[in-house]
Amino acid sequence: MKVVASMRGRSRLMLIAAMGVAALTASACSSNTSSPAASGTATHAPSGSATSGNITWWASPITTTSPDPRTVLISAFEKAYPNIHVNLQSAPTDTDTNRASLITTISGGATSPDVFMGDVIWPAQFGHSGLAQPLSSYFPSSYWNSFAPGLVQGATYKGQVYGAPFFEDQGFLYYRKDLLAKEHMAVPTTWPQLETEAAALVHKGVVKYGYVWQGASYEGLTCNFMEYLGSAGGTALNSGLTQATLNSPAGLEAANFMHSLITSGATPGAVTTFQEAQSMSAFATGQAAFLRNWDYGWSYSQTASSPSSVVGKVGVTPLPSFPGQASPGTSNIGGWNLYINPHSKNIAADVTFIKWMTSPAAQTILGTQFSEIPTVQSVRQSAAVKAKNPVLAIVGDTRLIPRPAQTPAYAKVSQAIYTNINSMLAGSASPSSALSAASSQINSAVGSSSGL
């Protein structure tokens, strides 16, 4: 049958095109008026005075063991506030999938979830696009001062705080104390010392891998890189967030060191595919002598069913430093904040919920029952929390460095860092060329308003 290129066919096509245009003009007009009035200057909700309502809390699983910390916290909260009912919505475990789902939901104007648990690197991005409610006006400054230093700063964008720090992650150095004792090696306090010891252990055949960390092409590599960069005394962005500063002597020291870890054999080449799961597993099954990982590494390695064959053989210490720089080395800040959906219909109840979740009562539960690092300073330093495990005991001894997430273009900044550093680790770029490429990509990311 021949294609009948008749007027009827063409006019049919035009009709469809016209419908499409009508649809898009209708949507363009309606998209700005489709939501309820929820803007930056929301009703001045008295902090935490709502005592009734229904809220939906969107949170990804925190641990894999039972009981579930989220349900424990919700029950405790509902006991304190019997007329507020909290409905838990479990979010995807992958943080990027989680974010995509939230962006779809909130930019689509949904009123639910009311409160969501989000990554610490989201405030600038979400605040810039109106996807999170500014929280500064709901809480007095004494509230914000109760948190450990640096956390509230990290949740601030253009003078407004968007997330209440909920619990924190930091990087630590885990080591096999039995192997170090056997080989008469001291616990390393500087990076070169670590490299030497790790390489020696590998060459002697004591372990398959010396020092494992997260070197895959993903956000975790940015965390690792920031730790070396901070230890060397460098920064990634200038204070005005307009210029990359990692192509500096400090940056070069950090990159060169990371590169040398692989060339010296201290770190396996496979580290370019390691995320937390792979590096943790390598250490917990006894194949690695040193591990850089978040605080969960302690409970993971001490639970035989993880699987772990190194129960009782692990020590933990703050990250090493570079010689001539401040000690200990810097630890990257990870963790999760609590945000409010700008379309939420129950902001007062949300504020109550957040206030309680960041109160000493809830934070103590998180610390003592679930070994998460509390964000409230007083709880962090309490004896009960410090006694829980060796990681919590040394939290106060670490030096922290955040990722350069204060700019809304952070996703692209991070991508510039981790793709180039990963190329360097894989051997396809030299440290200096990787840094200069990252630097120029960061500059174009923070400079332009949009791009690919």
- When the beta carbons of 209 and 257 are compared against another protein, the nearer one is 209
Provide, rounded to whole angstroms, the least separation between the CB of residue 57 and another protein: 12
- Helices 410-426, 431-447: axis angle to 10 degrees equals 170
**Are 268 and 212 spatial neighbours (Cβ–Cβ below 8 Å)?**
yes
User: Which of 272, 299, 317, 321 touches another protein (CB under 8 A)?
Assistant: 272
CA 226 to chain centre: 13
Provide, rounded to whole angstroms, the least separation between the CB of residue 333 and another protein: 15
Provide, rounded to whole angstroms, the least separation between the CB of residue 59 and another protein: 11
User: Which of 192, 323, 396, 451 touches another protein (CB under 8 A)?
Assistant: 451
**Are 405 and 151 spatial neighbours (Cβ–Cβ below 8 Å)?**
no
Determine if 239 is a binding residue for another protein (CB under 8 A): no
CB under 8 A: which stretch of 195-203, 233-241, 277-285, 322-330 binds another protein?
Answer: 277-285
**Are 171 and 292 spatial neighbours (Cβ–Cβ below 8 Å)?**
yes
DSSP structure string for 301-317: HT-TTTT-S-TT-EEEE
Closest CA to 48 of 88, 90, 77: 77
- Helices 347-357, 69-80: axis angle to 10 degrees equals 110
CB under 8 A: which stretch of 71-79, 195-203, 297-305, 314-322 binds another protein?
Answer: 297-305
Q: Are strands 314-317 and 164-176 parallel, antiparallel or unpaired?
A: antiparallel
Q: Are strands 288-294 and 209-212 parallel, antiparallel or unpaired?
A: parallel
Q: How far apart are CA 177 and CA 313, in angstroms?
A: 6
Provide, rounded to whole angstroms, the least separation between the CB of residue 42 and another protein: 11
- When the beta carbons of 146 and 214 are compared against another protein, the nearer one is 214
- When the beta carbons of 325 and 344 are compared against another protein, the nearer one is 344
User: Which of 54, 193, 281, 378 touches another protein (CB under 8 A)?
Assistant: 281
- When the beta carbons of 223 and 232 are compared against another protein, the nearer one is 223
- When the beta carbons of 346 and 419 are compared against another protein, the nearer one is 419
Determine if 326 is a binding residue for another protein (CB under 8 A): no
CB under 8 A: which stretch of 78-86, 88-96, 240-248, 348-356 binds another protein?
Answer: 88-96
Provide, rounded to whole angstroms, the least separation between the CB of residue 199 and another protein: 17
Provide, rounded to whole angstroms, the least separation between the CB of residue 75 and another protein: 17
User: Which of 287, 327, 377, 432 touches another protein (CB under 8 A)?
Assistant: 287
- When the beta carbons of 191 and 418 are compared against another protein, the nearer one is 418
According to DSSP, the residues that pair with 115 across neighbouring strands are: 57, 340
Provide, rounded to whole angstroms, the least separation between the CB of residue 33 and another protein: 8
Q: How far apart are CA 220 and CA 418, in angstroms?
A: 8
According to DSSP, the residues that pair with 430 across neighbouring strands are: none
- When the beta carbons of 92 and 265 are compared against another protein, the nearer one is 92
According to DSSP, the residues that pair with 335 across neighbouring strands are: 168
DSSP structure string for 191-242: HHHHHHHHHHHHHTTS-SEEEE---SSSHHHHHHHHHHHHHTT--SB-TTSS
Structure tokens at 379: 């709880």
Buried b (16+ CB within 10 A) or exposed e, 372-389: bbbbbbebbebeebbebb
Size of the site for another protein (CB under 8 A): 95
Binding to another protein in span 213-232, by CB under 8 A? 216-218
Structure tokens at 87: 């409905």
**Interface pattern 19-58 for another protein (x via CB under 8 A):** xxx-xx--xx--xxxxx--xx------------------x
**Are 117 and 59 spatial neighbours (Cβ–Cβ below 8 Å)?**
yes
Binding to another protein in span 390-449, by CB under 8 A? 408-409, 411-412, 419, 422-423, 426
User: Which of 43, 49, 107, 145 touches another protein (CB under 8 A)?
Assistant: 107
- When the beta carbons of 201 and 250 are compared against another protein, the nearer one is 201
- When the beta carbons of 248 and 406 are compared against another protein, the nearer one is 406
Length of the chain: 452
**Interface pattern 127-146 for another protein (x via CB under 8 A):** -xxxx---------------
